Amino acid sequence: MEVMENRVKKTLKRFYSNVLSPKNWIRQLNTRLGIFTWVIVALTLKTILAYGADFEWLHVQDPIQVVLMLLNPVGFTIVLFSLTLFIKPKQLYYGALIVLDAVMTLLLYLNVIYFREFSDFMSVNTMLGYNTVNQGGKAAGAIAFGIHDFLFWIDIVILIALFLARKIRFDNELLPRFKPFKILTIGFFILTTNLLVADIDRPQLLTRQFDREYMVKYLGLGPFMIYDGINTYQTGQVRKSATPEEFTQVKNYIQKHYANINPEFYGKAKGKNVIVIHLESFQQMSIDRKINGQEVTPFLNSIYHSKSTIAFDNFFHEVGQGKTSDAENMLETSTFGLPQGSLFSKLGNDQTFQAMPAILGQRADYSSAVFHGNLGTFWNRNNVYKHMGYQNWVSGDYFDLTGQKATTWGLKDKLLFKESVPYLENLQQPFYAKYLTVTNHTPYTLDREDRDPNFVTTNSGSKIVDNYFVTNHYLDQSVKEFFNYLKASGLYDNTMVVLYGDHYGISNTDAKYLAPILGKDESEWSDLDNADLQRVPFMVHIPGMKKGYIDHQYGGEIDVAPTVEHLLGVSTQRYIQFGQDLLSKQHSDVVAFRNKDWITSDYASLSDRYWDVKTNEIITKPSPTLQKTFDHIQSGVNEKLAMSDNLNQKNLLRFYKPKAFKEVEVSQFDYSKRATISRLKKQNVVLGKSSTSLFAKNGNQSTLSKYLTDAPEANDEKTDSTRLLPRNADDWSQIE
């Protein structure tokens, strides 16, 4: 036993002497490989420090993400710094190593500072753009620096001090010939493993361009910035080649396909407030649907059939990989999303938009706001909304998301509508406000306390399908409570409410479970049936209107902006919009999908096959005349998508200065909660009796007490935990 103890003591002593002893550190630092290892370890530890102390551990949610988060600084750092090992002159080697360490530390620290203020990571555009950097600098000046900030720099200070004290001397001995290659190979192996595991756990991470925090969590800060830099360069090269003549082609196309207004409806809602309710993942099939003898959405059904509503039952979503962000882009700008990825994420940092918030603000003096229960950085909204002209962006950062108040996707809908009131009531009227709901989001889970005990859902064999109708029902109740508030507060009569579904909720893979519910045979389910499921609601509710009806016109999300603007009495002929007023008698019934498929009231082209819409049969041998019709439609769809892509990818709107429209000046917007509250209060004070806000009209008293909800979490105290997971708003990875 004594011999064993002596051996252990000797081993520990040797380990201390060779590894832990400060003398050994100094000895190792006097070698090229030793100082290289010092820098790698120090920079990795600093990155992990930033992840934990400042980036909130990137909200990791499973062991794989934890491993990737701890691994991603290692591979990239080794690859980057191993390049210095190929430098032979000793002065140049040590200089390059320290300078590179300082530069990478500076980039890390700048992201720490930026994240503290904006809860986001710096993009290359942010660093290169003068206005943004200037704003960021002003904001950073007001930031209280963290007590741990010195740790980001202490390793460099120690290293320089040791050099000055001559404790470290330049190593004249070069590394063995193949040593740098071996180290570089090890780094590449770790980095490649990181990328492969990330791609397995989160497919299409790069092509769809998720929230920046999501990308840093999986790839690391360095790879993210390189990827963002490449994307910025490619975008810049595409835009550099753009010419005003290309815009003229787009403008001529738009003018050629413009659909005239319908005098019967033009200006029908002129001067009214506009509230857009984004019904997350909500499909047309749920309207008027009964499950076990009960309506899934009784309130939405009543709106759908109201004489104050114009509803469309052949309205399709047209989103691509950008999902919700594509739907928003079409709603606001009447241009399509991109062929790959999200326009918001790829181009939104410096895109020129002609969006509804800016158009209504400049043409009819509308104030504007967006309300959402998730984080402000999702889909790059914190940048995109500024370029669209939104004055206020009230995101999940404004609300209490702790305890049971939020799902993993954000604040529950009933709470979102209620807790938005202090901001909504302070908007100057008329206003344009958009609500992005989240509770009806895959995988459609809902706490038992939030469920209607009287509503019994399906037993289809799929949790996704069964839960979908449960969250549909909850969403319906949420909208009903909000409408009740609008009436109680006095806003209802002077407000046009637009309700639309952004994209499908039940994917094609679950169609076999859904088919019997829709009265169809799953064995006969076809591509046309899948296309029919892409219908989403579009309803325009105008209190006081008596001529509402259900319109069977075929159309899509691209048509929303001109339809809404014409109802408000705002002409769209001067703007670049690829949609047409759905109420126009000249509206085309060709609906273009992002993948170049299409559908009309008579025919459809889906996955390279033609369909007869009325008979649900494949057209295998179209007549020459019919084939000519199909070719003409396909050519039109291809041209429409290509024109939109060219406009957006090359940012051609920067060449266009239409009458009475000024490009949005993004520097005027500050979306921080403090600034928003101050700004809204100040407007009421400055305007005094001229203020048109609901708050002012109510004798400078809040109307929050008029909002009645049965949400069980409404009065819960704030806790230290939340179920919110910051990720892309259209992550389908949880579908079973």
Say whether 324 counts as a known binding-site residue.
Answer: yes
CA-to-CA distance for 649 and 448, rounded, in angstroms? Answer: 46
Residues 6 or more apart from 82 whose CB is under 8 A from it? 36, 180, 183, 184, 187
**Cβ proximity of 723 and 447 under 8 Å:** no
- How far, in Å, are 245, 251, 558, 651 from residue 248 at the CA level? 5, 5, 21, 13
The separation between the first and the last C-alpha atoms of the chain, rounded to the nearest angstrom, is 57
Q: In whole angstroms, give the CA distance from residue 712 to residue 404.
A: 9
- Beta-ladder partners of 435: 277, 371
Rg (CA), the chain: 29
The single residue of 77, 324, 333, 495 carrying the catalytic annotation is: 324
Q: Is 333 annotated as a binding residue?
A: no
Q: Are 407 and 723 in contact (CB under 8 A)?
A: yes
Alpha helices in 438-502 (DSSP H): 463-489
Task: For residue 438, give the nearest of 410, 398, 461 by alpha carbon.
Answer: 410
Active-site annotation holds for 458 = no
CA dist., res. 311 & res. 537, Å (int): 8
Closest CA relative to residue 428, chosen from 512, 519, 364, 503: 364
The pair phi, psi for residue 236, each rounded to 5°, is -65, -40
What is the DSSP secondary-structure string of 588-619? Answer: --PEEPTTS-EE-SSEEEETTEEEETTTTEEE
CA 721 distance to own-chain centroid: 23
Residue 502, annotated as binding a ligand: yes
- The answer to whether 280 is annotated as binding is yes
Show the CA angle centred on residue 653, arms to residues 632 and 436, nearest 5°.
Answer: 85
Residue 436 CB partners (closer than 8 Å, separation 6+): 278, 280, 324, 328, 370, 371, 372, 373, 374
503 is in an annotated binding site: yes
Alpha-helical segments (H) within 202-220: 205-208, 212-219
Residues within the annotated binding site for Mn(2+)? 280, 324, 502-503
Residues within the annotated binding site for substrate? 441
Residues within the annotated binding site? 280, 324, 441, 502-503
Catalytic center residues: 324
